[in-house]
Amino acid sequence: MKYYLKYKRYNEYSILIEWPAVIDEDILTNIINFKNNIENSYIESLVEVNSAYNSILVIYDCPIEDVNGKINELKRIYTYLSDANLSSTYLWEIPVCYNEEFAIDLDHLSERLKLSKSEIITRHSQQIYTIYFLGFLPGFLYLGGLDKLLQCDRKSTPELNIKKGAVGIGGNQTGVYPQNSPGGWHIIGNSPIQFFDAKRYNPCFAKAGDKIKFVPIEKQKYNEIINAIALKTYSLKRKLLK
């Protein structure tokens, strides 16, 4: 499926391409496909292509002198878009401990949503989430697919130091903080895994288009995974989807 796209200069070195402003998996597939085709087209001076919910930012290594020429080049690539460059996608199982010591906002969230704590955990962990893009912090996954009954406005006053691995809910999204960070999401658990490691060939194991499933674990299993990661004997479970 093809969409009506908007192309415009973003700054001296880049061009922004925009899709309709909705969070949609068909649009995500189209974005990923277009991004892959741009990266494989050997465009002169191309440095990087970044994607978000509804856009692609194409970055060049020198100032763009002929904006219309660059835009027409990108339009031609989109015209002949092929599914051949769609990469494989995976379902990743992410262990999460929802114990009280990690779920610092679960009591408050339970009162606010008028759901029991166990129902919040069940609803949160039974969903299959789609990764739309990575951002905010290195390794932070923007996920779509949160149960509507769990959607809740962010905190009016953000916390100054959210613990690495914290699993939170903010608005219509859920996600995991890959490092200690300020944040305004409601924290309901913690994952022991490493979401970003600059020493790895692929610093983040997942990518846009992949799926995420949160798997509840107890504190003992949480500690075992922490130790296994330290010993470099732990591997995330994944399933090839396509």
- Identify the CATH number of the domain in which residue 51 sits: 3.30.1360.40
Residue 103 placed within a domain: yes
Do 78 and 103 lie in one domain? The reply is no
Q: Which helix H or strand E contains 70, and what residues bound it?
A: helix 67-79
Determine the pLDDT at residue 84: 61
Do 112 and 227 lie in one domain? The reply is yes
Do 157 and 74 lie in one domain? The reply is no
Determine the pLDDT at residue 2: 86
Summarize the confidence of residues 163-173 as an average pLDDT. 95
Distance CA 184, CA 73 (A): 41
Do 119 and 79 lie in one domain? The reply is no
Determine the pLDDT at residue 83: 66
Question: What is the percent of the chain with per-residue pLDDT over 70, rounded to a whole number?
Answer: 98
Determine the pLDDT at residue 156: 87
Whether the per-residue pLDDT at 219 is higher than 90: the answer is: yes
Q: Answer with the one of 36, 67, 85 that is the final residue of a domain.
A: 85
The model's confidence at residue 201, banded by pLDDT at 50, 70 and 90, is confident
Summarize the confidence of residues 157-178 as an average pLDDT. 94
Question: Average per-residue pLDDT in the chain?
Answer: 93
Among the ranges 37-46, 82-91, 152-161, 216-225, which has the highest mean pLDDT value? 216-225
CA 144 to chain CA centroid, Å, is: 8
Structural domain range at position 60? 6-85
Q: Which CATH number goes with the domain that contains 105?
A: 2.40.100.10
What residues are paired with 197 via a beta bridge? none
Q: Is 87 helix (H, G, I), strand (E, B) or coil?
A: coil
Summarize the confidence of residues 18-25 as an average pLDDT. 93
Determine the pLDDT at residue 85: 59
Do 154 and 235 lie in one domain? The reply is yes
Q: 56-110, pLDDT tens digit by residue?
A: 999 999 999 999 999 999 999 999 887 665 778 999 999 999 999 999 999 999 9
Q: Distance of CA 85 to CAs 29, 37, 90, 211, Å?
A: 11, 6, 16, 19
Do 232 and 125 lie in one domain? The reply is yes
Determine the pLDDT at residue 135: 84
Give the tokens for residue 60: 């060049």
Half-sphere exposure of 72 (CA within 13 A, CB side): 4
Give how many domains the chain has, as a whole number.
Answer: 2
